[in-house]
Amino acid sequence: MQLDGLSAADLEPFKDLIARSVNLLLIDAAGRSARLYPRHYLRQLEAHMPVRFAALRQRRKQLARQQIALPRLIDLLAAPAVASARS
């Protein structure tokens, strides 16, 4: 992305997006390390997130299962090709 021709005012939306993203990443990091923080503090942080920590944990579990399934699916699809190539 070329930013040389943009004025400071043009960059404000990017700066705002970066700041909001960093805040969400930090709050998410605290949510992932929930055992290190008191519950009342986590509830206060969670109020600033667009989704609950529990929903994020559930989604991460779903994605982890899919990531495991994808390599296995590739292996299964490749197995007949490997077997026929050896014959």
Distance CA 47, CA 45 (A): 5
Q: What is the pLDDT of residue 42?
A: 93
Task: Flag residues of the chain having pLDDT under 70.
Answer: 1-6, 80-87
Q: What confidence tens digit (pLDDT) does each residue in 28-38 have?
A: 999 999 999 99
pTM confidence score: 0.57
Token pair belonging to 11? 């960059």
Q: What percent of the chain has pLDDT over 70?
A: 84
User: With contact defined as beta carbons under 8 Å apart, do 48 and 56 qualify?
Assistant: no
**DSSP secondary structure string, 43-86?**
HHHHTTSSS-HHHHHHHHHHHHHHHHHHHHHHHHHHHHHHHHHH
